[in-house]
Amino acid sequence: MKAKVIVTPKKTVLDPQGNAVRDAMRHLGMPEVRNVRIGKYLEIDLDGKNVDLEKRLDDLCRDLLSNPVIEEYSIERLSE
Amino acid sequence: MKFAVIQFPGSNCDQDCIAAINGIAGLHAEYVWHKETSLRDFDAIVLPGGFAYGDYLRCGAIARFSPIMRAVVSDARAGKLVLGTCNGFQILCEAGLLPGALVRNRSLRFVCEMVTTRVEVANSPFMHGCSEGTLLRLPIAHGEGCFFADPETLRQLNRDRQVILRYSDRQGRIVPEANPNGSIENIAGICNHERNVFGLMPHPDRASDARLGSADGAKIFRSMMETINANRAEAGSGPAKQVA
């Protein structure tokens, strides 16, 4: 199984990196840019594909790959 | 009295911590490699600054799963004093021993400078002899030291007087200009609800000798020793034997 995990800062958390990129985009001729949020993208290859594996992946997304205090995550499962 | 200084791969203030602690009469510090599993022989635990595991993923995110962290968590829950400076603070937050999180500095810049911090709570276990409003000069050096907590957590921190240090100007005023990293409410250091775990972004280890510009950091290590002695005297076992 392949999984894509996307981790993004929570809306309530200041994202200065996103703001800097937003400002640069506006500066480079795209005043339409309203907001930019920068997160992380992880591509994970796993052996097997079953409910238990998905459950354990979800647990690790919460415990390791993201910090629930400041981030949210989503998992997209892709079969091989 | 024996302090443990945990060494993670990527710690780089472990020697500073050892030197600062060993410079205080009555204290003796030893390195403990992160693969160890017990801290039974130590009276207090220090998580030093640095870049444990290269700060990969998030600062402290991988270090919190090091084998030694089980012992840090269980000893903390049992009431042992635990101090985390800089990267150590980040690890304590990731491990859930302290609330909140440390995120990228608002300026996006790595800040390396001497700052003034104001003691917000008198006579806490880590600030014996410091009255409220005492100013400490301490150095900071970090790129991700902006303290964040959600509104409810922040309310609790303030209500239970867990904010121990705030960034201030030289007159002790908590003003935005004195905030080096964008931390919410100028927070520089907090303790847990039980008050035995303390994390701060500044480096007391780099300010424990007047020749380095400030000896204010030594107050924190000395205070930890006094707290442990006081707790022992209260428990009836008498003060700890002083190590020469």
Tell me which chain A residues have a C-beta less than 8 angstroms from the C-beta of B106. Answer: 14, 16
Mean local confidence (pLDDT), B102-124:
95
Structurally, chain B folds into a number of domains equal to: 1
B104 interfacial to chain A (CB closer than 8 Å): yes
DSSP string of A38-58, one letter each residue: --EEEEEE-S---HHHHHHHH
| pLDDT tens-digit map of B13-30 | 999 999 999 999 999 999
Mean local confidence (pLDDT), A22-39:
97
Q: What is the pLDDT of residue B244?
A: 42
Mean local confidence (pLDDT), B64-92:
98
Its domain, for residue B74, covers 2-235
Under the banding of pLDDT at 50, 70 and 90, the label for residue B236 is confident
Inter-CA distances, B79 with A18, A48, B109, B192, Å: 41, 43, 36, 11
Tell me which chain B residues have a C-beta less than 8 angstroms from the C-beta of A40. Answer: 57
Instruction: Specify if B244 maps to a domain.
Output: no
Are B60 and B52 within 8 A, CB to CB? yes
Q: What is the pLDDT of residue B123?
A: 79
Instruction: Specify if B240 maps to a domain.
Output: no
The closest CB to that of A13, out of B58, B108, B148, belongs to B148
Give the whole-angstrom CA distance, residue A10 versus residue A7. 9
Under the banding of pLDDT at 50, 70 and 90, the label for residue B237 is low
Give the whole-angstrom CA distance, residue B17 versus residue B14. 5
The answer to whether ipTM exceeds 0.95 is no
DSSP string of chain B, one letter each residue: -EEEEEE-TTB-SHHHHHHHHHTSTT-EEEEEETT----TT-SEEEE--B-GGGG-SSTTTTGGGSTHHHHHHHHHHTT-EEEEETHHHHHHHHTTSSSSEEE--TTSS-EEEEEEEEE-STT-TTSTTPPTT-EEEEEEEESS-EEE--HHHHHHHHHTT-EEEEEE-TT----GGG-SS--GGGEEEEE-TTS-EEEESS-GGGSSBGGGTB-TTHHHHHHHHHHHHHHHHHHTS-SPPPP-
Cβ count within 10 A of residue B170: 9
| Amino acid code (one letter) for A72 | E
Instruction: Specify if B243 maps to a domain.
Output: no
Is 60 exceeded by the pLDDT of residue B69?
yes
Say which residue, B239 or A12, is predicted with more confidence: A12
Mean local confidence (pLDDT), A2-31:
95
pTM of the model: 0.94
Is 90 exceeded by the pLDDT of residue B166?
yes
Chain B: residue nearest A64 by CA? B61
- Minimal CA–CA distance to B59: which of B24, B22, B91, B12? B91
Instruction: Specify if B218 maps to a domain.
Output: yes
Domains and CATH numbers, chain A: 2-79 (3.30.1280.10)
Is 90 exceeded by the pLDDT of residue B79?
yes
Q: What is the pLDDT of residue B54?
A: 95
The closest CB to that of A67, out of B58, B105, B182, belongs to B58
Give the whole-angstrom CA distance, residue B137 versus residue B118. 9
**Domain containing residue B147: CATH number:** 3.40.50.880
The closest CB to that of A67, out of B99, B101, B104, belongs to B101
Calculate the CA A78 to chain-centre distance.
16
Under the banding of pLDDT at 50, 70 and 90, the label for residue B239 is low
Instruction: Specify if B96 maps to a domain.
Output: yes
